[in-house]
Every structure is written in C-alpha cells, then in structure tokens.
Structure 1
C-alpha cells in the first residue's frame, strides 16, 4: 500500500504544530477524517486540509512534503511505523519518540530527539542545537534509541542524555555531551568548546583531537572491547558510519569531568 502523503500547499508564516500526526494517532482514520483534524498554527487552530493536500494511504507510513523549518513536533511520542519528511523540519522532531523510524532529507531545528526512549531518527542535513537533549525544566534528555545526522549538529548535543546513541557525521558545536549521564555520542568531524562539560558518565567517541577542559585527565592508549561491537553494529548503516570498523579499536582515553565524579570518558581514535 502507498504512503499517506501530506503535501504543504503554501509556505507557512506562523509555526505549525504537527505533534498529532503520528501512525499511532492516525490509525483507522480515513483521508477525510485526517483532513478535518485540528492543528495549531501559531496561537490559532486550523484544519489540516486547509494546510496540506492529503493523499490517502497507509497510516503506518506517513510522507510529509514541505520544505519548511516551521513544521514543529513531527513524530512526537510515536511508538511504531515510519515518518518521512522530504525537505526540512522544525523544532522538537521525534520528541519523546518510543519506536518506529523518522527520516528527514534536510535540516532540522532544535531539540530533535529530546526525551526519546526508542526508535531511530535519521537526519540527512544538519541538526539544530540541543540534539537529544532535555528541554528547559526537564532533567532527562534522550533515554534510548538512535539519532543519525549526516551533516553538522549545533550546541549542547546530548545535554542531560541518559541512554541511547547519537551519531554525527560532521562537526558538533560547543558543550557537546554537557551534563551527560550515560549513553554514547560519536562525532566524525570537529567539536567546539567545553566538550563534556559536567558529564558524569557516558562516552564521547571522536576521530580528531578535541580541546578538552582542564577537568579531564589522560588515561593512556587502550583497546576497549565494546568498540568492536559498536563498529560492527554501525557497519549496517549507510554513509560514513559504516566505515568506522576499518579504524580498529585503538583509542586515546581521557576521563572526566573531574568536578562531577570523573567517570565519563572521551575516546579519540589513534
């Protein structure tokens, strides 16, 4: 069966909240019922059919066509199925996602994957600030699942992250891994200032030497066994992450943040 297709009819000026459009919430609805669904557009309500052209299809496979960074909340809380976005997406992509797959061909806004506990997010372009991080007022960011970014990511990647895997094919901004509690962040490009600030545990895995804060101590050159398992798993992905197995498992290791227990680790391939 073909995908349920939603095509934006015109570039929006106010932001559109698409949190209601997940396979879970649309299951069993006809195309006409979907067209009548209310959406928040700024601080006003509108019918989905007034904003999108709806083509009937499988509600477990949703295709959104509309190159706009004002489409917020795509995939919020979804537990199964697939959402594909042709173009850009706005803020809060995959917030509190529990399962299923979200893929975006372009860039995404801030807080993608915030609070997610399962499933996967694939971003073909760049990701905004606070990727996989906690939103203001919360103390837990990403707690499971996988986020894959082909391009760059902004500041505060994985802030308050507790579990899960974040893969960044390009550069990451300042405070990458800040307040990290657990989980793994892999960056194939460069990283900004204050890497691992206030991290308690978890792993930052890099391909180039970062500028580390003085609260990180060198711990020698090692060959951690988990790295062989991780790169073997990543070999099944597309893009540069599939080639990491060829790097081997020999890394330089630093421990920190010493001001917060010093049990986190920064690993840099030799």
Structure 2
C-alpha cells in the first residue's frame, strides 16, 4: 500500500477548505468517492479531482504535494494517521487536531494548531500570527499535544493557550504567551515586545533576555531541578530542544496584573 497522495495541479487564487481530507474522513472510501468530495472555496464547491491529481490507497498516510498557502484547515479535527505536506499550508493547520501527526515541509499561515488537543505537529519552516491561539469568540487556544517549529512564529503565539507544549527554534513576534492559561512554550530565538502580557499561568522558556513590561516581577536567579526532568522528556523529540540540559534560570513571575501565577524562565 502507498500513501494516499494529493498533488495540486496548478496554482490557485481562492482559498480552499480541505478539512474533509483527513485519514478519519477518507478511511474506507474508494478513489472515485474521494475524487467527488466537494471542497468549499468561497461561495463555490469544487470537486477534489478538479484541484488535485490523486494516487495511492493508504488513507492512514496522506501526502499533499505542491501544496499552497491557499489550502486552509489541513488536518482539521484529525484523530488518527499521519499527514505530510510538501510546500505551503494556509491558515488553521491542525485546527482542533486530536491525535495523529502532521509534518509540514514549508511555511504555514495564521492560527496554526488553534484548538489542538493532542498529537504532534511539526513545521519545518515559519508560521504566521496566532500560533496555538484561540479563534475569535473562543476562550481557549491550544488544549494539548506537541507543536515543533523549526523557524519563526508571528505575533500572539500561545494567546489563551490552555495546555500542551510548543517548542520554537527561531524568533517570535510581539505578545508571545499573551493571556496564556497554562502549558509550556519554549523559544530559542528572540521574542518581541509585551511578552507574557495578561499571562495567568503557564511556563515560558527563553534563552535570550526579553524586554519586559512593568507587571512582570523579577524573582531572582534559581536552580530548578524540575527543568532537568522536563528536558529529559524532550530528548526524543526531533528538535534542538532535545540537546538542552540546563536548570539555572532567571525567573520572572506574572502577569501580576492578572493573577501573576505564570512564569518566564530565562536560561543563564
């Protein structure tokens, strides 16, 4: 059996919702059934075979080739299997994902991992604003799972994040961990202004001293043994974080204007 492969025939101008193309939804369907699935594109409904060449027969492993940044909701609500994306991805990559694995070899747009509750999402590239953040009208962003980003992330990464782990090897824009409820975010690069703004709980791991706003409180330098256990749990991940083994940090508490139970740990 070979992976069920969708190869984009040509560049597309209008955004397309491909949330129907997940291992759960396609299990047991024939190629002719899959080809006839309608995909929303603005006010239009487009057949899968009008956009993609389809090959393979193993729906548990899906591949998107020549993928475009116009393809939204890749892996939305998936509960099993693996999706590999070669090219770009649009907004809402891994939206409300429950289990399984998504690997993107390229860049993604806004709201990557929004509402994600489990599984592994690995982006070999950059992501846009609102990584793992809550969508408008929702009170919680990412709820579980692991997100690995080898490149940079935009603004509001982890906004209203509720649970889970995000490890970013590049830089992050302003308002990282804003209104964070719980979970862990690690950043090897720099972070922008207003880091931890409105943060309630959770842990933000940094390797570079951030520019702090007035309601983050300096708690001094500490040796925290639990960090050794945390980094041991990262040792098998395909990330630069797997090689870190430090527990000496400068600790900041906050946001003290909003409970103040969150923490920002800067490695010494």
**Class of the TM-score when normalised by the shorter of the 2 chains:** over 0.9
The TM-score normalised by the length of structure 1 is 0.98
**1:267 alignment counterpart:** 265
The one-character-per-residue Cα deviations of 1:198-229 (angstroms, maximum 9, x if unpaired) are: 00000000000000111011111112232112
The TM-score normalised by the length of structure 2 is 0.98
The match for 1:257 among 255, 258, 261 is 255
**2:222 alignment counterpart:** 222
Distance 1:62 1:258 in 2: 45
How far has the Cα of 1:241 moved from its partner?
1.7
The one-character-per-residue Cα deviations of 1:225-256 (angstroms, maximum 9, x if unpaired) are: 321122112121224222112xx211110001
Q: Where does the alignment leave 5 or more consecutive residues of structure 2 unmatched?
A: none
Q: Where does the alignment leave 5 or more consecutive residues of structure 1 unmatched?
A: none
Distance 2:57 2:226 in 1: 42
* Runs (4+) off by over 6 Å: none
Distance 1:203 1:214 in 2: 18
How far has the Cα of 1:162 moved from its partner?
0.6
Moved more, 177-186 or 59-68: 59-68
**2:163 alignment counterpart:** 163
* CA contact 2:216–2:256 (8 Å) conserved in 1: yes
* CA contact 1:252–1:268 (8 Å) conserved in 2: yes
The one-character-per-residue Cα deviations of 1:79-136 (angstroms, maximum 9, x if unpaired) are: 1110000011000000000000001000000001001110011000001100000001
**1:197 alignment counterpart:** 197
Paired residues, what number? 268
* CA contact 1:165–1:184 (8 Å) conserved in 2: yes
* CA contact 1:102–1:120 (8 Å) conserved in 2: yes
* CA contact 1:80–1:99 (8 Å) conserved in 2: yes
Distance 1:161 1:2 in 2: 37
* CA contact 1:30–1:56 (8 Å) conserved in 2: no
* CA contact 2:148–2:239 (8 Å) conserved in 1: no
The one-character-per-residue Cα deviations of 1:26-79 (angstroms, maximum 9, x if unpaired) are: 010011111111101222001000100000221010000123110000000001
* CA contact 1:162–1:180 (8 Å) conserved in 2: yes
**1:75 alignment counterpart:** 75
Distance 1:224 1:161 in 2: 23
**2:44 alignment counterpart:** 44
Aligned: 1:234 with 2:234: yes
* CA contact 2:79–2:97 (8 Å) conserved in 1: yes
Distance 1:71 1:200 in 2: 34
Distance 1:125 1:199 in 2: 27
User: What do you get for the CA RMSD once the two structures are aligned?
Assistant: 0.8
* CA contact 2:172–2:189 (8 Å) conserved in 1: yes
Q: Counterpart of 1:34 in 2: which secondary structure? A: helix
Distance 1:67 1:61 in 2: 16
